[in-house]
């Protein structure tokens, strides 16, 4: 009988001794998880060693190829992996690199490699708690905080002292994780906090995983799958668009990555099954096929995009749970490069929100494809790094990249020469869910 069974028993004998929970009753939930610690400074070293001494052995240290800490980590008995490889391997990533480097590392080495439903944790001392970032909605985000850090934390752990700990969980987490973020956070903070088995300070006769009157400070986890009406959203929603009259659809790969070909679209008010034909994980593009006879589709232009070009973005921000009408926003092209000078992307100021992913960005005059909506810059990181929140800093994949991808997969494209018709744009854009 596990800890959940004990706590959820409806009837307990009055003569039975109260259950006294131990550290291992909580830590076991992450013992079989693959944990990648990014960085190996004093704090990361303390975390890794404390985890190991708490019985968690499936740990790797993620470092850059030229890092001076590689030999140090290996000397302590840890396996070292490159950043992107560790991101694709891990169930739980712990970010223990300088805070101002988090976003850069996430964009370059984590975002396109981390497996759907994995967790990302951040660690700080109690006086340096930061607001949690909003990454991909499928990722569980949590933060653990301890009274001590680095060598002091390691010494306190070895001495068996019990120190003050806390954790917070991002309210945007959903329910597609193998272990809930709040459970992983609690298990992790106890695993690094003390070698003592005594957890009476948080669990005296109560289920440690219960959020009710739990002495550990935490934020209530609110599922992103529950909307204001209490209805359940699909596990993943996005936007796509037809690129020919044979039912071929383009969207972002991250929209359909976890669907295992259980993806559908809404077309002519009917739910239609679609099949994933091809994808490019690096570019974040996927090609789908629906058995429909569609008249309208998005055409391409022979002209290259230009700065200050007027554009429209079509999509279903936040799915169909605000309204089922296609939303269209306008703006301009701000830059012909994306983050880290990525020339396969462009920056726009037309708003992109969750659910817009995979939608068409078209020229406002001709309606020809300019790009595919893919992401927006996170406000939390710009505030931390630059002292101010970003405003309408959004990105799309250039149509030239989409064109090459389609031609490589034997899909013929069409060139548009006439003027934009909103009705054509609406009939070419579809709602995607799984």
What pLDDT does residue 312 have? 97
Q: What is the pTM of this model?
A: 0.53
Strand locations in 84-205 (E): 92-95, 119-125, 140-146, 165-169
What pLDDT does residue 172 have? 56
- Collapse the DSSP code of 165 into the 3-class scheme (helix H, G, I; strand E, B; otherwise coil) and give the result: strand
Contact 176, 15 (CB under 8 A): no
Question: Among 98, 108, 226, 216, which residue's Cα sits nearest to residue 168?
Answer: 216
**R_g (Cα) of the chain, nearest Å:** 24
Q: For residue 201, indicate whether it is catalytic.
A: no
Please give the torsion angle defined by the CA atoms of residues 41, 382, 330 and 320, in that order, rounded to the nearest 10 degrees: 60
Average pLDDT of each block of 10 consecutive residues along the chain (434 residues)? 34 52 89 95 95 95 94 96 95 91 88 90 74 75 88 92 82 65 91 87 69 40 31 64 97 85 89 93 92 95 94 90 88 91 92 91 95 83 66 92 95 87 95 90
> Phi/psi at 286 (nearest 5 deg)?
-135, 145
The span from the CA of 111 to the CA of 338, in Å, is 15
The DSSP secondary structure of 204-226, one letter per residue, reads BTS-TT--TT-SS--PPP--TTB
| SS (HEC) of 266-280 | EECCEEEEEEEEEEE
Q: Which of the listed CATH numbers 1.10.3720.10, 3.40.50.720, 3.30.465.10, 3.40.50.300 matches domain 16-203? A: 3.40.50.720
Question: Among 214, 208, 118, 218, which residue's Cα sits nearest to residue 169?
Answer: 218
The span from the CA of 95 to the CA of 344, in Å, is 28
Q: From edge to edge, which strands make up the β-sheet containing 119-125? A: 79-81, 59-62, 35-38, 92-95, 119-125, 140-146, 165-169
Contact 291, 406 (CB under 8 A): no
Bridge partners for 300 per DSSP: 415
Contact 253, 421 (CB under 8 A): no
Token digits of residue 340 = 């880290």
- Collapse the DSSP code of 300 into the 3-class scheme (helix H, G, I; strand E, B; otherwise coil) and give the result: strand
What pLDDT does residue 207 have? 72
Whole-Å CA distances, 121 to 188, 286, 346:
9, 29, 30
Which of the following is catalytic: 102, 124, 177, 254?
A: 124
Delimit the CATH 2.40.10.120 region(s) of the chain: 237-433
Contact 40, 72 (CB under 8 A): yes
Delimit the CATH 3.40.50.720 region(s) of the chain: 16-203
The span from the CA of 37 to the CA of 433, in Å, is 33
What pLDDT does residue 145 have? 86
Token digits of residue 227 = 């909307």
Structural class in CATH, domain 237-433: mainly beta
User: Is 81 buried (19+), middle (13-18) or exposed (0-12) by CB count in 10 A?
Assistant: middle
């Amino acid at each position: 009988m596990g800890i959940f069974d004990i706590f959820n028993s409806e009837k307990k004998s009055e003569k039975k001794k109260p259950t006294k929970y131990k550290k291992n009753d909580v830590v076991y939930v992450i013992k079989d998880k693959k944990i990648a610690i990014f960085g190996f400074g004093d704090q990361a070293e303390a975390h890794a060693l404390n985890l190991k001494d708490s019985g968690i052995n499936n740990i790797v240290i993620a470092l850059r190829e030229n890092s001076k800490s590689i030999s140090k980590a290996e000397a302590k008995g840890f396996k070292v992996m490159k950043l992107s490889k560790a991101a694709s391997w891990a169930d739980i990533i712990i970010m223990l690199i300088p805070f101002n480097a988090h976003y850069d590392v996430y964009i370059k080495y984590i975002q396109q490699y981390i497996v759907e439903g994995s967790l990302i944790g951040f660690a700080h001392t109690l006086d340096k708690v930061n607001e949690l970032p909003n990454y991909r909605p499928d990722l569980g985000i949590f933060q653990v905080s301890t009274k001590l850090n680095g060598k002091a934390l390691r010494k306190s752990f070895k001495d068996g002292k019990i120190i003050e700990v806390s954790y917070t969980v991002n309210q945007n987490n959903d329910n597609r994780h193998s272990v809930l973020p709040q459970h992983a956070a609690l298990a992790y903070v106890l695993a690094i906090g003390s070698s003592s088995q005594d957890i009476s300070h948080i669990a005296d006769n109560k289920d440690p995983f219960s959020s009710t009157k739990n002495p550990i400070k935490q934020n209530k986890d609110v599922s992103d799958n529950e909307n204001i009406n209490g209805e359940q959203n699909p596990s993943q929603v996005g936007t796509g668009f037809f690129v020919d009259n044979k039912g071929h659809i383009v969207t972002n790969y991250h929209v359909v990555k976890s669907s295992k070909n259980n993806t559908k679209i809404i077309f002519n008010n009917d739910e239609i099954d679609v099949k994933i034909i091809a994808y490019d994980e690096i570019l974040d593009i996927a090609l789908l096929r629906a058995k429909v006879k569609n008249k309208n589709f998005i055409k391409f232009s022979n002209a290259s995009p230009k700065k200050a070009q007027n554009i429209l973005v079509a999509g279903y921000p936040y799915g169909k749970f605000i309204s089922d009408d296609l939303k269209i926003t306008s703006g301009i092209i701000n830059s012909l490069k994306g983050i880290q000078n990525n020339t396969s992307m462009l920056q726009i100021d037309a708003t992109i929100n969750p659910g817009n992913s995979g939608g068409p960005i078209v020229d406002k005059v001709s309606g020809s494809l300019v790009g595919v909506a893919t992401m927006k810059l996170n406000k939390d990181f710009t505030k931390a790094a630059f002292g101010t929140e970003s405003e309408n800093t959004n990105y799309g994949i250039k149509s030239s990249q989409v064109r090459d991808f389609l031609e490589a997969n034997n899909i013929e494209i069409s060139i548009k020469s006439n003027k934009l018709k909103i009705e054509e744009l609406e009939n070419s854009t579809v709602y995607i869910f799984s």
